[in-house]
Amino acid sequence: DAGVIQSPRHEVTEMGQEVTLRCKPISGHDYLFWYRQTMMRGLELLIYFNNNVPIDDSGMPEDRFSAKMPNASFSTLKIQPSEPRDSAVYFCASSPGGGKEKLFFGSGTQLSVL
Amino acid sequence: GENVEQHPSTLSVQEGDSAVIKCTYSDSASNYFPWYKQELGKGPQLIIDIRSNVGEKKDQRIAVTLNKTAKHFSLHITETQPEDSAVYFCAAPQGASGTYKYIFGTGTRLKVLA
């Protein structure tokens, strides 16, 4: 398996623009997670899905952030409008049986909002 | 909620020496404790984990110990090699069974000096 695939690897945008991050989880994994990593706050869980259904989005910082999982092989994290403080590395991870088991992380998307 | 503290934030060791990283957690209901290794430009990767029904687990040069009474767990790397240089994160679930929300430690940057 190719692992969790995220795109793009790098995204540079201007404040106010819409940003869409994409993730393809490992086939057969029932859980998908979106994390954000910054120097100040470390690794933060934003939202996670079970069988394409959002289970907990309490980590989503504001209404500007939204996430969808239209099918088992694809998820998006959207920021609209983007702000400089959204600059971070965003990771997608998947797990076969939930967070108590191994998380498989993608390589992340480095987002820079100017 | 769960609070995870990790120490030290940086650690330098000579090649061949041992390295120890410690984490404390606050939620006594937590029962699963993974350790992740993150190399530059990559997502975190699980290297070892332990469940609360055991006190120690080993995998070649890596071991994890758990003290549930004191609510702390440690990562031990023996015979360190340059390729062990990375950032290491501990994590603990926010709650007991059925939760998939992990609180990550702030990370330890390990440098193995050749």
Q: A57-79 pLDDT, tens per residue?
A: 999 988 999 999 999 999 999 99
pLDDT beneath 70: ranges in chain B: 95-99
Residue-wise pLDDT tens digits, B66-95: 999 999 999 999 999 999 999 999 998 876
Could you tell me the two tokens for A33? 């997670």
**Which chain B residue has the Cα nearest residue A34?**
B101
E-assigned strand segments in B15-85:
19-25, 32-38, 45-51, 56-59, 62-67, 72-77
Could you tell me the two tokens for A20? 């869409």
E-assigned strand segments in chain A:
5-7, 10-13, 19-24, 31-38, 42-50, 53-56, 65-71, 74-79, 88-95, 104-105, 109-113
Q: Would you state the pLDDT for residue A92?
A: 98
Q: Would you state the pLDDT for residue A1?
A: 65
In three-state secondary structure terms, B84 is helix
β A10-13/A109-113 pair status = parallel
Q: How far is A23 from chain B (nearest CA, A)?
A: 13
Phi/psi of residue B82, nearest 5 degrees: -55, -35
What is the C-alpha separation between B1 and B22, in angstroms, rounded?
Answer: 20
Q: Say whether B100 and A105 touch across the interface (CB within 8 A).
A: no
The answer to whether residue A34 scores a pLDDT higher than 90 is yes
In three-state secondary structure terms, A85 is helix
What is the C-alpha separation between B34 and B21, in angstroms, rounded?
Answer: 13
- Which residues touch B7 (CB under 8 Å, ≥6 apart)? B21, B22, B23, B108
Q: Say whether A48 and B32 touch across the interface (CB within 8 A).
A: no
Q: How far is A93 from chain B (nearest CA, A)?
A: 9
Q: Which of B100, B108, B109 to mutate to test the interface with A (most CBs of A within 10 A)?
A: B100
Residues of A in contact with B100 (CB under 8 A): 31, 33, 48, 50, 55-56, 95, 98-100
Q: Say whether B44 and A105 touch across the interface (CB within 8 A).
A: yes
Q: Would you state the pLDDT for residue B52?
A: 80
Residues of A in contact with B89 (CB under 8 A): 43
Q: Would you state the pLDDT for residue B31?
A: 84
Q: Which of A23, A95, A103 to mutate to test the interface with B (most CBs of B within 10 A)?
A: A103
